[in-house]
Chain A
């Protein structure tokens, strides 16, 4: 079996390694348009947080590791088209056009950042750092700048704030929605985090959409519908969209232009699969699909596609949009639906909030937790955590509760360890479940 994978980022590489594990005799070809592989898109963040000394250390896999698995890597090969009838992929390499045939094709070309709307966003003074080459340029630009405009208050933008504060930069953050990480958290959960960031000097521009950036001598004017701010450079932290120019109409596309796939990640063309940022994500508990370009989704879809190459075997469970990060002195984590998104849910939601000390013997620090569940069935739909203590791992158990369709009565009984130095008598998950459950009893 000859497997060709387009794109050697998280999804493509995971798929290649998983195919190798299941098909020892398969020929695996990985085509990548960049000159290197395995770069962690958050590499610059690691560098500024001094977790690594050089950007080149920000990798999750090396060429050697792939070669050792007998995975053929073709760097600087840009796929320009594929023919699902003839089962061939056309690529360009150093100006030359070539073709490669396949038995199975996996489209994992990832996503990129570009804006059609923000005039001037292609300016070299507006940095992006998804790829290593961009990150190197961004590193220099950011270090030389005193004031920086971050365009977008999602995860990339929020984490960039951390880095810029660590570098003693003056940061302006522009976000169309009314608060930070608004896709993942409800507003009140972000209040303490934003307060802390504001106190550290961050200037927030919420409810403002950047319309243009204009170079003026050595600086940039960032214009929104409400304001104009003069900064030294900009950091582009939004608009991640699939890179699918080569796909054209060869496979069925969704209205938002992502590739349509079935539950086994098979596209409308035989023997062609799509994974990672090329597709929308669905979760069985939520009816509508959404575009969630997260590394965890890319990797999991890569694993699932590899299982289904020969026959449909494993259905993709979709995404809950689980994230966790640290912003200044706060750890924040979220999974599933927020209350603000409740209007998009077919049923009625119920919301429960609790705050408890991390453990009775480790100081007074607390964890603030929020749980969203279906009002009628009690099914857990979403959770958010904010604390000055590292609580990130807890979000994974809450995500599992959602994924397995647990109700609040079941969450209340989840079996968590107890040890007085590390845990509460009533663990946060149990506490959230219990509070939510009692609420329904009171309402009755």
Chain B
């Protein structure tokens, strides 16, 4: 589900206009824009006029200039397009309906038509449009309530508010004193230490959960079925006991589903650190579908990269990421897209391995069959999973490529040595994946750059490059070639 789905056509188009220009580097020809947005020049000009009227509310943080042919947009260094979305969403009727349902859990038509100053027919139309978009999350607005699996409802709100609410607001407002205490209690109960971001995520999840706690007739059917593999999972049992103990302090009736929801949240949101997760992997059931998928996909990736070998720490890192991809695909449906995923895919295709996305898609197909989920179901999370897999490949390639350790070992006079060193540091600064320093005898290097041929026995028999001239252009060219050779080997 794209975030634009909350907006009316005109607002969505205006935002697209800004986004497309930013994606193009901040400057785009109007002809190109009209083609991309499929609009006439008159509509474009009207949209630009509206934007020019609206953007000053950001006090210069975003500026737009149109010279009748080219559109130029400048963003301040601390300004994200999300700020623009927030401003548009605040006034968007469809967002207000969803937000009202979060605050009050239900509505009557009379209440909403009055609150939003809408006719009944307009309200019904908006709800219908919203339901079309919410299908991605397998939830819908019906009889004045948000209906569907409770996990999906909370997941939807989490996605919405986590990204929509500024991080500083989460720090200052979402993290209430009570949430702080609960997060600290959870850390103690699970013997984990959460990062600040994880704490804030848990805090938001708790706030959403508290709001939803009093809703009657919550649905857990799919979740219960999926959790059948996790009934003896050690982390689930810990979370379950914590949740039941926590809730038993209040005169509220709760059910097993509540504990399951919190467990799923923890394992699908990268809340656990990699170290904590690695400990959990040792204890979790191997036969759970997600564990199985993690193992199978890891093996497939290992085979794919053969004969290159993964270090144990890289494997752990891969499993950590795979586990999140698979637990999301297994438990959840829908993804709220704030950023243009297709733009990322396009840039990925052009900048990294051409077959990465094909391989990612084949992995998704494989994991879906092990997770027993239907890849044909409409679920935007699947496309995100492809992107996540591709990100795992990028990580692997980065790790496998490693780093070339370079040392400068000169016999020149100190002043001359300093000068050449400075020249080389500056010249090679822009080359990726190298570490360059002055030679230290106790260390092992891949490449030694020196000013004279000698028979010095360097540790680990590194490549040696003797400068032909005082780090001339030729030397730099040769060095770059050598570094690339070392990286690819």
Contact = CB atoms under 8 A, between A and B. Distances in A.
B210 A255 contact: yes
Interface stretch (A13-21, A229-237, A238-246, A401-409): A238-246
Interface string B167-195: 00000000000100100111011000000
A209 interface: yes
B33 to A, nearest CB: 50
Interface stretch (A110-118, A138-146, A429-437): A110-118
B224 interface: yes
Contacts of B244: 176-177
B192 to A, nearest CB: 11
Nearest to A255: B210
B11 to A, nearest CB: 36
Interface stretch (A62-70, A165-173, A286-294, A412-420): A286-294
Nearest to A291: B251
B241 A291 contact: no
DSSP majority for the B interface?
helix
Interface stretch (A76-84, A310-318, A339-347, A367-375): A339-347
A228 interface: no
A96 interface: no
Contacts of A242: 251
B145 interface: no
Interface in A135-179: 176-178
B185 to A, nearest CB: 4
Interface string A377-402: 00000000000000000000000000
A182 B188 CA distance: 18
Contacts of B216: 116
Interface in B251-282: 251-256
Contact of A343 (B224, B242, B256): B242
A257 B250 CA distance: 9
B253 A241 contact: yes
B9 interface: no
Contacts of B181: 287-288, 344, 346
Contact of B245 (A115, A293, A341): A341
Interface in A313-348: 340-344, 346
A346 to B, nearest CB: 7
A422 B85 CA distance: 76
A183 B231 contact: no
B251 A178 contact: no
Given A225-B256, A255-B210, A288-B181, A342 B188 contact: yes
B249 interface: yes
Given A178-B241, A225-B224, A343 B189 contact: yes
A225 B181 CA distance: 31
Contacts of B253: 115-117, 239, 241
Contacts of A346: 181, 184
A291 B231 CA distance: 29
A226 interface: yes
A72 interface: no
Contacts of A258: 251
Contacts of A365: none
Contact of A226 (B186, B231, B246, B250): B231
How many B residues are at the interface, by size bracket? 20 to 34
DSSP majority for the A interface?
loop
A53 interface: no
A291 B249 contact: yes
- Specify which of A182, A255, A340, A342 lies most central, judged by the most chain B CB atoms within 10 Å of its CB: A255
B358 interface: no
A343 B241 contact: no
B186 A209 contact: no
A182 B245 CA distance: 9
B251 A257 contact: yes
Contacts of A240: 251
Interface string B444-473: 000000000000000000000000000000
A262 interface: no
B103 interface: no
Given A177-B245, A288-B181, A256 B186 contact: no
A87 B254 CA distance: 36
Contact of B250 (A177, A256, A343): A256
A178 B244 CA distance: 10
B186 A343 contact: yes
Contacts of A209: 255-256
B248 interface: yes
B443 to A, nearest CB: 43
Interface string A8-29: 0000000000000000000000
B241 A290 contact: no
Interface string A342-357: 1110100000000000
Contacts of B231: 225-226
A344 B255 contact: no
Contacts of B241: 177-178
A183 B184 CA distance: 20
Given A177-B241, A255-B210, A342-B188, A183 B251 contact: no
B240 to A, nearest CB: 8
A371 B121 CA distance: 66
B251 A343 contact: no
- Specify which of B242, B250, B252 lies most central, judged by the most chain A CB atoms within 10 Å of its CB: B250
Interface string B192-230: 000000000000000000100010100000001000000
Interface in A78-99: none
A120 to B, nearest CB: 15
A242 B251 CA distance: 7
Contact of B248 (A117, A183, A225, A343): A183
Contact of B251 (A176, A241, A341, A342): A241
A111 to B, nearest CB: 7
A240 B184 CA distance: 28
Contact of B185 (A176, A290, A293, A344): A344
Nearest to B249: A290
Contacts of A290: 249-250
Contacts of A256: 250-252
A342 B254 CA distance: 22
Contacts of B256: 176, 209, 211, 225
Interface string A246-283: 00000000011110000000000000000000001000
A343 B188 contact: yes
B167 to A, nearest CB: 26
A412 B178 CA distance: 35
A209 B254 CA distance: 10
Nearest to B187: A343
Contacts of B178: 288
Interface in A112-139: 115-117
Contacts of A342: 188
Contacts of B249: 288, 290-291
A343 B224 CA distance: 27
A343 B189 CA distance: 5
Contacts of B248: 177, 183
Contacts of A225: 224, 231, 256
Nearest to B177: A287
B380 to A, nearest CB: 31
Given A183-B248, A256-B250, A117 B189 contact: no
Interface string A291-312: 1010000000000000000000
Interface string A98-114: 00000000000001000
> Which 8 residue pairs spanning A and B have beta carbons closest together?
A343-B188, A290-B249, A241-B251, A256-B250, A343-B189, A291-B251, A343-B185, A344-B185
17 contacts: A177-B248, A183-B245, A211-B256, A225-B224, A226-B231, A240-B251, A242-B251, A257-B214, A257-B252, A258-B251, A280-B250, A291-B249, A291-B250, A293-B251, A340-B245, A342-B188, A343-B242
Given A115-B253, A239-B253, A241-B251, 19 more contacts: A177-B245, A209-B255, A209-B256, A225-B224, A226-B231, A255-B210, A256-B250, A256-B251, A256-B252, A257-B214, A258-B251, A287-B181, A288-B181, A293-B251, A341-B245, A343-B186, A343-B188, A344-B185, A344-B245
